[in-house]
A = this chain, B = another copy of it.
Amino acid sequence: MSTLGYALLGLLAREPLTGYQLTGLMRAPMGYFWTASHSQVYPELARLQERALVAGEVVPGPGPRDNKRYRITETGRHALRDWVVTPAPEPTARDEFLLRVYSLWLADPDAAAAMIEGRIEAHLATRADYRRSEKAILARHGGEPASDHPDFGAWATLRRGLSYERHALAWCRWLLDRLRAQARR
């Protein structure tokens, strides 16, 4: 089973959804840690149905095409529950920003500072996004979700996102300080 399959099962374990809705959720909030486009989602749903991990029912929609609403099966729920406590492989590190920082020593200091400031703006925007999302969850749920509540994962990963952004922002600012300290000499 592919990782994407478990991502989709993770969403369907909460509620039945169509491919289109799943695609939206793979942008956010699941996209905060695992992304997929619709061209990946539809074929993967077909594979999941083949293996009886999900069941699809055709709902005649208002549009030209029929809507297919998928729900997780007992088999699917079991597969997900088993996979979840499986040790996760180390994520392959791929950060183009850090790749640039590695060679920043040969760049023009002002251009370098501008690049980092752009990065800071992006982090601030992401943090604002996470803050809104967490607020929405706490409001909708009426407090912090317990660890066996379906909302727990979304909340816990948002907390992590916020912690990550705090760290990333602090480091970017430290880096800017280093560049400016050099410029003053």
A residues neighboring B (CB under 8 Å): 3, 6-7, 9-10, 13, 30-35, 77, 80-81, 83-109, 111-112, 114-115, 118-119, 122, 146-154, 156-157, 159-160, 163-164, 166-167, 170-171, 174-175, 178-179, 181-182
Contact = CB atoms under 8 A, between A and B. Distances in A.
10 contacts: A33-B95, A81-B107, A84-B103, A84-B112, A85-B114, A90-B122, A101-B156, A102-B153, A105-B147, A106-B150
A75 B132 CA distance: 46
Contacts of A95: 33-34, 88, 91
Given A149-B105, A163-B171, A7 B99 contact: yes
B163 A99 contact: no
How many monomers of this chain does the complex have?
Answer: 2
A164 B91 CA distance: 14
A77 B182 CA distance: 22
Given A10-B103, A103-B10, A105-B150, A89 B96 contact: yes
B100 A84 contact: yes
Given A81-B106, A109-B147, A114-B85, A98 B33 contact: yes
A91 B89 contact: no
B87 A160 contact: no
Nearest to A30: B102
